[in-house]
A and B are shown apart, each in its own frame.
Chain A
Amino acid sequence: MSDNLLLSLLWALPLAGSVLVLLVPGRSDLAVKGTALGVSALTFALSLVAFSSYLSGGLAETPLADRAALNTLTVAEGTGAVSLVDEPGDLVFRGPWIPYFRIQYFLGLDGISLSLVLLTGLISLLACLASWGIDRSVKGYFSLFLLLLASMMGVFLALDLFLFFVFFEFMLLPMYFLIGVWGGARKEYAAIKFLLYTLFGSVFILVAILVLYFYAPDGAEPLHTFDALRLMARTEHFTGTIFGFGVQSVVFALLLIGFLIKLPAVPFHTWLPDAHVEAPTPISMILAGILLKVGGYGLIRLAWPLAPVGAFELSWVVAVLGVVGILYGALAAMAQTDFKRLVAYSSVSHMGYVTLGLAAMNLIDPRYYSYGVNGAMYMMIAHGITSAGMFFLVGVVYDRLHTRDLGQLGGLMNAMPVFGGVTMLIFFGSMGLPGLCGFVAEVFVVLSAFNYSYGLAILAAAAVVLTAGYILWALQRVLLGRNDSHRGLPDMSMREVAVAAPLVVLTVWLGLFPQSVLGWVGPSVDRVVAAVASANGAMPEAEEVALSDAAGGSSR
């Protein structure tokens, strides 16, 4: 399968599916659900095909920029004739879109994006299965669901900033309607809050993109490109100031605000609890499992590499934001009486680790910096699995009892033993119990933070106690104790077990064999780290140089 076909199908297939669902004849809900499930499954299968060709092609060894450089696109000035070279089998495709503004249809995958594409495929498939209970406007629901899937895939595939932005913005609409139509009591409020927050964030991103496109230092021409990789390779172009601030700082700050709103990090997080509580269960799974990762992906893929110097200048602020997020999210989670809200705040807390891991820019020894970014990446994957599972489990309870009030739950372990076991495992995975997936990520991040700032690291490590506190307390209030009114509740159905099982397996697998993911994600992450570090003047061979030349490295 050619790169173009494979990469384009990853987003075009769900898009076609969203139309197909509308065309399903008759009023049979089952046919609609079946079609949507089939399309989601096919999309997941396609992402597996991409994964296998990534591994079999040994693509983890070649940097994305090198692969992209082999795929060229030239548009003749006068005639507009397009000639493109597509290197087969390298998972990069570059085609023309709007030649006048040099906007390309530029798709590509490396370890960072591929891991999230896989996550998107899996979580969407499970969320589709979890959507079986939807009974209102079924066609509309599944059509929007697949539209959302298409745009999320597009975000992770796009390497052209304009294309990225189009997918990024397009994601809002299906989400707005999915929350607004199928949501809970305060759905209108939650939907518009989500829409406005994210739209506001995307303005910052758009301005940053425009600055990158048009900025020209004195005596030089603007780059006039939306090609993210080309811009990353030319970060030295962005020296000088606009409005008295360093241009890289401006770009970084703009991208940071835009993506931190999406992530969300603490001062910008207030849309998240509302959106989660009001959204239907499968949409909460997608929101926590994938949409939040778009923010983190934007930071790793765009914010740091595009403005490495600006990132280093602001890294301290970002790191503090991360630690505040960890602590605040954990404390807020502890105070909740609504089960779903508790899980939502735990997401805020976990995303704080992502922010901290990215911001712990230890340039004296970039190895530790690389730990942090790998940890952040791992946290995104692990959290994508556990949080989707947690929201699903909350939904399972809600379907049976129609309440999420922690005060009214309790004793479910007796009534629903399978549910109890699964809940224990997934919540422990989120808590970071050694041997489960969350632990690996937290260790990496805290390790990196120790080599960045003791104070921040101690706070972040101390937050593990808070995390254990709210998770264990929540488990106690939900599962333990006796509650006769819950006697006779049906345990998880086969469909629900089918949704939970892959998440359980992955929670354990990622905890025991982190190398099975880090082995192919890590090289891509390390290259990003190396590029950012060298743009800031750090020596690439850190180990020897750092010891002998520590003063020189730190004076930067």
Chain B
Amino acid sequence: MPPSSPPPIDFSQLWALSPEILLTLWGLVLLLVDVGPLRGRPGSSRRKTVGSLALIGPIGVFALLLAPLVAGPGAGGGDPDPTLVYGTIAGDPLATSFNGVIALLLAMVIGMSMAWDFTEHWGAYFALLLWAAVGMMVLVAAEELLILFLALELMTICLYLAAAFEKDKRRSAEAGMKYFVYGSVASALFLFGLSLLYGLTGTTFLDGIRRVLVESAAATGEAGGLSGDLVGATAVLLILVGFGFKLAAVPFHQWAPDTYEGAPAPVSAWIASGSKLASLVALMKVLLHALAPWAGAVGGEAGGGWVLIVAAIAAATMTYGNLAALAQRNLKRMLAYSSIAHAGYMLVGVLAAMVTVRSGSSAAEAAGAVLFYLVIYSLTTVGAFAAAAWLARGLGRDDIDDLDGLGVRSPGLAVCLAILMLSLIGLPPTAGFVSKLAMFLEVLNADASARSTLLLLVALALVNSVISAFYYARVLRALFLRRSDRSPGPAPRGVSWPIVLAALAAVGFGLEPAPLVDSMRSAASAMLTITLPPSPPDLPAPAPVAAIPVSGGMAMQK
């Protein structure tokens, strides 16, 4: 293949990447401000100053996202090919809307961080939060395996560091260490899986991989699936290890409880919401788009594929997460197991999205329901972690019992927290209920042949929701049924507004889900329909020569 000379980068495309660029630069500014003008100031004053400055980052992102709307059409829209930078990054509605969601979550996390002094290094801390957000934004937009891996690493490395930032607590160091050790092993395995995938298909573009797999399946006349394909199966398994770690899916979840409990509450919130959100979107892109030909059947008449693996992981994850959460006394640790359980529910949705992708009729609806669930889950979880930040500030600890009596002392916030818990249980009329039900409806709507398996999974998920009511109700009990002498004091503003905002979202989208559902659905359809031009001259397309040894190699495995 002759080394093509790529055309110079079209700088107008950078407009679509402006949120990432803004946050990157702003992180540097924060660092400089902290060591420059604020040098020698006491920690708490730097916390307030740098934190307020950091908030400009997400606000700037909102401004950039809203700018095209204000400027009217013509500023950036109307491009038939939504990919940027040689097709490696998408600039589609999915990326845009999730940039907004990530910026919102980032703002809530920054707000929480300003609640109390858990570190001295405020410049570095806030810069890391911002850069992790950059990683998440790129991860959501990635259309190519290398970019995807780099974004994943950028995000996770920032979070490793941030988790260990509460230096006077040994548990925080333990949290960072555990997260790092598990994470690096998972990343290595993930990278190995990606390299196998590249070896099998000769391309790193998600759409290119899909095309090669479809062609090779057509060439061999197989219906798809992975049966007999040892290398492919290994690649899929390794990739699932990597994503399973990020999502804290069983059996790759062991780091999560310790990390969530040990890390400062804002960092735990950031790991539980932003990191999980971006990773799940990336997982959906890889599985639903690139590896869709390897999905296999759910019903069982055709060959196996990754669908069955994901089904097993989903069932184990939600059951284990809920059962383990029952025994927890610490609020953050309980939320860790709850986030594991929610990962399980979402994987059921991914499964259904896969089944509908194949049957083709309503692919975007199912994937959109998962995205909807994801957004609601992230918002409510961040709100719940804000309560942990409140406790840590006032009492220096964050057990569920420490919430005792807050219903009397600050009834407004307690009601908001109760709404968040109800949303996490999935009780009407909160958004948690609507999103869960919408997702399960899509699951059952999927494919007639897969319906009985999916019905079992949904029934399991519903039973799990009931189990989850038991431990979420502990929070309700502490808030309203108990009295206590110790009080964390009135909530600082940085804690109260994320809680209120999350509760408003939980109620608002519960009663009127349509706007968010629709936008998530269009985001999902954008995600699933991204295709590179058939043979673009400027694109390092998969070499046709490579396909022959690949299909031969696959044939040899059979």
Contact = CB atoms under 8 A, between A and B. Distances in A.
Interface of A: 98, 100-101, 137, 140, 165-166, 169-170, 172-173, 176-177, 180-181, 187-188, 191-192, 195-196, 199-200, 203, 206-207, 210-211, 213-214, 216, 242-243
A265 B470 CA distance: 23
Given A192-B477, A203-B462, A170 B451 contact: no
B42 to A, nearest CB: 41
A203 B480 contact: no
Interface in B410-437: 411, 422, 427-429, 433
A196 B470 contact: yes
Bin chain B's interface residue count: 20 to 34
A272 B408 CA distance: 28
Contacts of B465: 203
Contacts of A213: 441, 444
B451 A214 contact: yes
B452 A242 contact: yes
A177 B458 CA distance: 29
Contacts of B458: 207, 210
B463 A169 contact: no
Nearest to A166: B428
A203 B426 CA distance: 11
Given A166-B429, A169-B433, A170-B428, 19 more contacts: A98-B513, A169-B427, A170-B427, A173-B422, A191-B477, A191-B481, A192-B473, A195-B473, A196-B466, A196-B469, A200-B466, A203-B459, A206-B462, A207-B462, A214-B444, A214-B451, A216-B448, A242-B452, A242-B455
Contacts of A188: 477, 481
Contacts of A98: 513-514
Contacts of A206: 462
B438 interface: yes
Interface of B: 408, 411, 422, 427-429, 433, 438, 440-441, 444-445, 448, 451-452, 455, 458-459, 462-463, 465-466, 469-470, 473, 476-477, 480-481, 513-514, 517
A192 B462 contact: no
Contacts of A191: 477, 481
B429 A170 contact: yes
B518 to A, nearest CB: 9
B427 A180 contact: no
A196 B425 CA distance: 12
A181 B429 contact: no
B462 A177 contact: no
A181 B452 contact: no
A242 B465 CA distance: 23
Contact of B427 (A173, A177, A214): A173
Contacts of A210: 440-441, 444, 455, 458
Nearest to B428: A166
Contacts of A203: 459, 462-463, 465-466
B312 to A, nearest CB: 20
A177 B427 CA distance: 15
B428 A165 contact: yes
A180 B517 contact: no
A211 B477 CA distance: 34
Contacts of B459: 203, 207
A181 B438 CA distance: 33
A173 B426 CA distance: 12
19 contacts: A98-B513, A101-B438, A170-B428, A170-B429, A176-B473, A176-B476, A177-B476, A180-B477, A192-B470, A192-B473, A196-B470, A199-B469, A203-B459, A203-B465, A206-B462, A210-B441, A210-B444, A214-B444, A214-B451
Contacts, number: 71
Nearest to A101: B441
Given A98-B513, A169-B427, A173-B422, A180 B481 contact: yes
A172 B473 CA distance: 12
A143 B476 CA distance: 17
Chain B contact residues: helix, strand, loop or mixed:
helix
A173 B476 CA distance: 10
Contacts of B469: 195-196, 199
A195 B514 CA distance: 30
Nearest to A206: B462
Contacts of A180: 476-477, 480-481
Contacts of A207: 458-459, 462
A100 B517 contact: yes
Nearest to B514: A98
Contacts of B433: 166, 169
Contacts of B411: 140
Contacts of B448: 216
Contacts of A166: 428-429, 433
A153 B149 CA distance: 54
Contacts of B513: 98
Contacts of A242: 452, 455
A211 B454 CA distance: 12
A85 B408 CA distance: 48
Contacts of B470: 192, 196
Nearest to B427: A169
A196 B468 CA distance: 10
Point out which of A187, A191, A199 has the most chain B C-beta atoms below 10 A from its C-beta.
A199
Q: Which of B411, B448, B459 has the most chain A CB atoms closer than 10 A to its own CB? A: B459
Contacts of A192: 470, 473, 477
A166 B422 CA distance: 13
Contacts of B429: 166, 170
A468 to B, nearest CB: 40
A220 to B, nearest CB: 11
A305 B514 CA distance: 32
A191 B480 CA distance: 12
Nearest to B426: A169
Contacts of A169: 427-428, 433
Nearest to A216: B448
Nearest to A224: B445
A165 B433 CA distance: 11
A85 B396 CA distance: 61
Contacts of B473: 176, 192, 195
A96 to B, nearest CB: 10
A192 B465 CA distance: 15
A170 B458 CA distance: 21
B482 to A, nearest CB: 8
A203 B477 CA distance: 22
Nearest to A162: B437
A243 B481 CA distance: 43
Given A210-B440, A210-B458, A172 B463 contact: no
A105 to B, nearest CB: 12
A207 B469 CA distance: 18
B471 to A, nearest CB: 11
Contacts of A177: 476, 480
A196 B476 CA distance: 14
Nearest to B518: A100
Nearest to B513: A98
A172 to B, nearest CB: 7
Nearest to A179: B481
A164 to B, nearest CB: 11
A211 B452 CA distance: 10
Contacts of B481: 180-181, 187-188, 191
A516 B427 CA distance: 40
Contacts of B445: 214
Nearest to A137: B408
A200 B427 CA distance: 12
A170 B441 CA distance: 20
Contacts of A216: 448
Contacts of A173: 422, 427
10 A-B pairs with the lowest CB-CB distances in the bound complex, closest first:
A166-B428, A180-B481, A203-B462, A214-B444, A199-B466, A169-B428, A200-B466, A199-B469, A203-B466, A170-B428
B364 to A, nearest CB: 12
Contacts of B452: 242-243
A216 B445 CA distance: 11
Nearest to B441: A101
